[in-house]
Amino acid sequence: MTNNSKQTKSNLSIITLGALGIVFGDIGTSPLYAMKECFFGEHGMKVSEQNIFGVVSLIFWSLIFVISIKYLLIVMKADNKGEGGIMALMELVLPKKKGRSYLTILSLGLFGAALLYGDGIITPAISVLSAMEGLEIATPLFKPFIIPATIIILFFLFFFQKKGTASVGKIFGPILLLWFIVLAALGFSAIFKNPTILKALNPIYFIEFFTLHGFTGLLVLGAVFLVVTGGEALYADMGHFGRKPIRLAWFLVVLPSLVINYMGQGALILSNHHLAANPFYYLAPSWALYPLVVLSAMATVIASQAVISGAFSLTHQAIQLGFLPRFHVIHTSADERGQIYIPQINWMLFIATIALVISFKSSSNLAAAYGVAVTTTMLITTFLAFTAMTKLWKWNFYIAVSITLFFTIIDLSFFYANIIKIPDGGWFPLLVGILIYVLMTTWYKGRRMLGIKLTKLTDPLKKFIINYKKDVSQIVPGTAFFLTANPNGTPPTLVNNIKYNKVIHEKVIIMSIKIAGVPYLDLDDHIEINKLDGNIWQVLVNYGFMQQPDIPKVIELLCEQDLISDKVDIVYFLGKESIVITKNTGMSPWRESLFDYMSRNSERFASYFNLPSEQVCEIGTQIRL
C-alpha cells in the first residue's frame, strides 16, 4: 500500500468522523422520543405484542426506504457542483427558459426551502427538551426544572453561534460517535434479553399491521416519521463533506446503531408494556441514568447546532440567488468555506424556539407540531428528483416514474399522517413556511419589477457610451466605481452624477456581479474586463451562490492587472432607491409595502460588499412601483 493511499484513507476517516458529528445529529437523537410517541403520542397505538412488532418493523423499513435508498442512494446523486439541499437541487433542475415549468419548479423549491425554517425552530426545542425529560425518570423532583434547564441550554446554544463551529466542531464527531456506541450498547442489552424482537426485521409485520388497523394504522406514521426527519439535513450538508463520507458514516455507524437501539426499545416494551412511557431512558440501568442525560443533552445540542447552521446556509443561498434581502453575514472561519453566522436569523430562531418550549411544555406536545413541514419538503424533493432523473441523468422514463411513484406513495402516507396534526400544533411550521415563502416571492418579484423600472429610466450602456461626453463639463482625477445589477444597462448613479454634477472621473469602472447557479466559482477565472472607451471600463464578476461577494478582493485582482494603481483614490458610487407605492403594478399594495419595508431594512450595500465606508457615495433615485 502506498503512502498516498494510506493518507487518503486517513483523510477519509477524519472527514467521515466530522460528517458523523455535523450531519447525523438530527436523525441520531430521534430515539429519545420517536418510539415513545408511537405508543404515548396523540395518535399512539395500544401497547400490544402485535403492535410492537408492527411499529418496530415500520421504523426499520422507513430507515431503509426513506434514508438509505431515497436520500443516500438516489437524491444525493443530484449534487450541484458538490452542493446539496433543496435550493441547490432547484437551481440544478430549473429550466433555462422562463415558462410554466420554470415557475412551477421555482415555486416548489422556494416553498420547500421556506418550510425548513420551521424545522430549524422545532428541532432545538424538541431535542433539548426530550433530553432534559430524562431527569424526571431519575426522580419526579426534577420535573419543575425541566423547562428552565432547557431554556438555559438553548440560550447558551444560540449565544455561542457567533463563535462559529470551526473550533468546537472538532469534538462533535467523537461525541456523536460515543453517542451512537451508547445507543447500540443500550439496544443490544435489551435485545439479548428478548431476542424475539428481531422478527420485526421481516416486512410482513408492518404489512400485517396495516391489514389489521387499516387507515387508523396510518395515523401512527406521524410518530414513525420522527425517525427519518433528518433526511433533508443529510442532503443539505453534502456540500461540506461529500457523498462518500456521509454514506460511509450512515451504513457503518449510524444505521446499525439506530436499528439496534429501536429494536432494543421494542424488546424492552415487549417485556414490560408500562415502560413504553419513555423506553429510551428505561433502557439504561439506574447507575447510568444521569450520565446518559448529560450525553443526551450534548447530542441534542450538536443536533440543534447543525440545524441552526443549516438555516444560516439556507438564508445565505436565498440572499445570493435574489430571494431574500441582504442580512449581515459573518464568516466564522477563514479556512472552512460555508461556515457563517447571521445575527438576525440567529436571534429570531432563538425567540421562536423559546416560545415553543414555553407554549408546548413537553416533547410529546412538540411532536404534534413536528413533521408537517418536513414531510411537505420531502414530497417536493421527490418531485424535483424526478426532474433530475429524466432531464439530467437521462434515466429510462418508466423506471424514473416507477421509482418516483414508489417514494411518492411513502411520502404521501407520511404526509397524511402528519397533516392531521395541524390543529394540535402542526399549523406552526406551516405558518412559518408560508410567511417565509411570501417574503421570498415578494422580494424576488419586487426586485424584478424594480430592475425593469430602472432599465426604463436609463439608456442601454452602448447608447450611453456614444452620447455621454456632450453632458460632461470636466474630467476629475481618480477612479469611480459604479455597481449595477444589469450589465447591459447604464447605472442610474452614473447618469445622475453626470446630469447633476457635470463631471466624470478619469477612470470609470462599471461593475456587475452575477450569482451563478453553482455553489462555488474561482474568482480568478470568472472575472471579465472590457474597455468601453478612453475613460470607461466594464468589469463582470461571477460568484457561486454559496460565496460572499467581496469587492476589495476584486480590487486586488484589478490592481494586479494594472487597471487600478491607487486603491485609496477610489470612490464607490452606490444607488439608493426610494420606492413610491402606486396601484398600477403587478403586485398588490400590501406586498409593495412589504417590499418597501424589506428594502429599507436590508443591510446597506457598503457593508454587505465589504466596502470602506469613507470611500462610499450614495445617490438616491425615486422609483414608482
**pLDDT bracket for residue 624 (50, 70, 90):** low
Of the residues 390, 422, 454, the one at which a domain ends? 422
Residues 570 and 616 in one domain: yes
Residue 455 within a domain: yes
Mean pLDDT of the chain: 84
Q: Say yes or no: 262 and 294 in one domain.
A: yes
Q: Report the C-alpha gap between 184 and 191 in whole angstroms.
A: 10
Question: What b-and-e string marks burial along 390-402, b requiring 16 or more CB atoms within 10 Å of the CB?
Answer: beeeeeeeeebee
Query: Per-residue pLDDT for 411 more than 90?
Result: yes
- Residue 2: the pLDDT is 41
Task: Residue 47: name the closest of 163, 189, 220 by CA.
Answer: 220
* DSSP per-residue letters across 347-406: HHHHHHHHHHHHHH-SHHHHHTTSSHHHHHHHHHHHHHHHHIIIIIS---HHHHHHHHHH
- Percent above pLDDT 70 for the chain: 92
- Are the CB atoms for 392 and 363 separated by under 8 Å? no
Would the CA dihedral through 407, 410, 415, 421 be positive or negative? negative
Across 258-267, 397-406, 605-614, least confident range? 605-614
Return the beta strands (E) in 407-463 as ranges. Answer: none
Coil, strand, or helix at residue 290? helix
Q: Which of 283-287, 316-320, 503-507 has the highest mean pLDDT?
A: 283-287
Structural domain contains residue 214: yes
What is the total count of domains within the chain? Answer: 2
The arithmetic mean of pLDDT across residues 267-282, rounded, is 91
Residue that finishes a domain, picked among 422, 438, 460: 422
Positive or negative, the CA dihedral 239, 241, 244, 247 is negative
Q: Containing H/E element for 555?
A: helix 551-560
Statement: residue 66 has pLDDT above 90: yes
Span of 8-22, 58-72, 392-406, 457-471 with lowest mean pLDDT: 8-22
Q: What pLDDT sits at residue 405?
A: 96
| Higher pLDDT pick, 450 / 568 | 450
| pTM summary value | 0.80
Instruction: Look up residue 298 and give its amino acid.
Output: M
User: Closest Cα partner for 484 from 573, 411, 415?
Assistant: 573
Q: DSSP class of residue 186?
A: H
Q: What is the pLDDT of residue 213?
A: 85
Range of the domain at 258: 3-422
HSE of 519, CA atoms in CB hemisphere, 13 A: 23
At 6, the pLDDT band (50, 70, 90 cuts) reads very low
453, 592: one domain = yes
pLDDT of residue 334: 55
Does residue 51 form part of some domain? yes
Average pLDDT over residues 370-391: 89
Mapped to the 3 state alphabet, what secondary structure does 484-510 carry? CCCCCECCHHHHHHHHHHCEEEEEEEE
Q: Are 332 and 364 found together in one domain?
A: yes
The confidence band for 9, taking pLDDT boundaries of 50, 70 and 90, is low
The stretch 274-292 carries a mean pLDDT of 89
- Measuring CA to CA, how many Å separate 486 from each of 439, 452, 492, 598? 23, 10, 11, 21
CA 85 to chain centre: 7
Separation between Cα atoms, residue 593 and residue 234, nearest integer Å: 38
* Structural domain includes residue 428: no
Give me the mean pLDDT over the 464-482 stretch.
83
Helices (H), 24-145: 25-28, 34-40, 49-62, 86-93, 100-132, 134-138
Q: Are strands 340-341 and 330-331 parallel, antiparallel or unpaired?
A: antiparallel
Is the pLDDT assigned to residue 617 strictly greater than 70? yes
Q: Are residues 402 and 490 in the same domain?
A: no
Range from 53-57, 150-154, 368-372 that averages highest in pLDDT: 53-57
In a domain, 441, yes or no: no
| Predicted pLDDT of residue 336 | 54
pLDDT given at position 151: 92
Q: Residue 340 pairs with which residues in a beta bridge?
A: 331
Q: Are 364 and 476 part of one and the same domain?
A: no
Report the C-alpha gap between 525 and 542 in whole angstroms: 9
pLDDT of residue 500: 80
pLDDT exceeds 80 at position 38: yes
Is 430 within a domain? no
Q: If pLDDT is split at 50, 70 and 90, which confidence band does 20 have?
A: confident
In a shared domain, residues 528 and 583 = yes
Q: Average the pLDDT over 302-317 and give the result.
A: 81
Highest mean pLDDT among 71-85, 191-205, 209-223: 191-205
Distance in angstroms (rounded) separating the CA atoms of residues 86 and 106: 11
| Residues 8, 104 within the same domain | yes
- Domain end among 422, 454, 485: 422
Task: State how far the alpha carbon of 466 is from the alpha carbons of 502, 533, 534, in Å.
Answer: 16, 9, 12
Is residue 319's pLDDT more than 80? yes
263 and 334 housed in the same domain: yes
For residue 172, the number of C-alpha atoms closer than 13 Å in the C-beta half-sphere is: 28
Residues pairing with 539 in the sheet:
511, 529
Asked if the structure places residue 436 within a domain, the reply is no
Mean pLDDT of 24-49: 85
In the chain, pLDDT over 90 holds for what percent of residues? 25
**Mean pLDDT calculated for residue range 386-409:** 93
What was the pLDDT predicted at 435? 92
Mean predicted confidence (pLDDT) in 528-551? 83
pLDDT, average across residues 369-389: 88
- pLDDT value at residue 7: 36
Q: Are residues 395 and 518 in the same domain?
A: no
- Same-domain status, 292 and 396: yes
Taking the CA atoms of the chain, what radius of gyration do you get in angstroms?
27
**Comparing 59-73, 110-124, 183-197, 359-373, which segment has the lowest mean pLDDT?**
359-373
Residue 234 pLDDT > 90: no
CATH number of the domain enclosing 310: 1.20.1740.10
Least confident range of 75-79, 256-260, 393-397? 75-79
**Section 449-463 average pLDDT:** 78
Task: Determine, yes or no, domain membership for 435.
Answer: no
Are 401 and 453 contained in the same domain? no
Whether 608 shows a pLDDT value over 50: the answer reads yes
Question: What pLDDT is recorded for position 122?
Answer: 86
C-alpha cell at 374: 418536513
